[in-house]
Chain A
Amino acid sequence: GAVVSQHPSRVICKSGTSVKIECRSLDFQATTMFWYRQFPKKSLMLMATSNEGSKATYEQGVEKDKFLINHASLTLSTLTVTSAQPEDSSFYICSAPPLSGVLQEQFFGPGTRLTVL
């Protein structure tokens, strides 16, 4: 199946710093990627839809200035958590549906564990 990678897998940072998380589709192209957030023992919550070449679409209640999304190419989307705070600590997961495949078959990255001290 298609492979989605995320980098870094884990990051620990101090409050107030910004953290960039990369999501790459390794063997397929994706005009759209999705960013999810997951708290321990909880479900995945969709944060935003990343669109190649245009602005991201954010879900209700998600601050676009806090979570900056850039979809620079057909294989890369980045999520930057700006001025990170302890409450931003979470597991961030991206997903991508291949351009040429069945749209409903998303492939998820392995996730990035963010800990803000």
Chain B
Amino acid sequence: GQQLNQSPQSMFIQEGEDVSMNCTSSSIFNTWLWYKQEPGEGPVLLIALYKAGELTSNGRLTAQFGITRKDSFLNISASIPSDVGIYFCAGEINAGKSTFGDGTTLTVKP
């Protein structure tokens, strides 16, 4: 099956710094999704990308769907303590069935 390589695995940053994480795959996806998961909870959708090359923002978050449809990145600007959590990328070929990356654990020091 498809596999997503998500990096970095973890990040320890200072409040106010910018964050960048990415996902790559050997397979083409029709949709890229970015989620945030907090301990003991289900993932929450942050950004959905539907077209190759698409660049979408949601507040301090920006994500892009790679031109080759095999990669995506997520940037968080001016991080704050509540950004702490695990960020997952997910790729979809068929509607609703997602393949998830292994996650990036973000720690923000005040």
Contacts and interface: CB of A to CB of B under 8 A. Distances in A.
Given A60-B1, A104-B48, A110 B42 contact: yes
A108 B42 contact: yes
Contacts, number: 60
Contact of B96 (A34, A42, A110): A34
Nearest to A10: B40
A111 B42 contact: yes
Contacts of B41: 110-111
A60 B1 CA distance: 9
B102 interface: yes
A104 B100 contact: no
Q: How large is the interface on B (under 10, 10 to 19, 20 to 34, 35 or more residues)?
A: 20 to 34
Contact of A97 (B1, B44, B96): B96
B45 interface: yes
A34 B97 contact: yes
B7 to A, nearest CB: 13
A107 B33 CA distance: 12
Given A60-B1, A104-B31, A105-B48, A44 B43 contact: yes
A43 B92 contact: no
A103 B33 CA distance: 12
Which among B48, B50, B100 has the highest number of chain A CB atoms within 10 Å? B100
B88 interface: yes
Interface in A73-106: 93, 95, 97, 102-106
Contacts of A95: 42, 96
Interface of B: 1, 31, 33, 35, 40-45, 48, 50, 88, 92, 95-103, 105
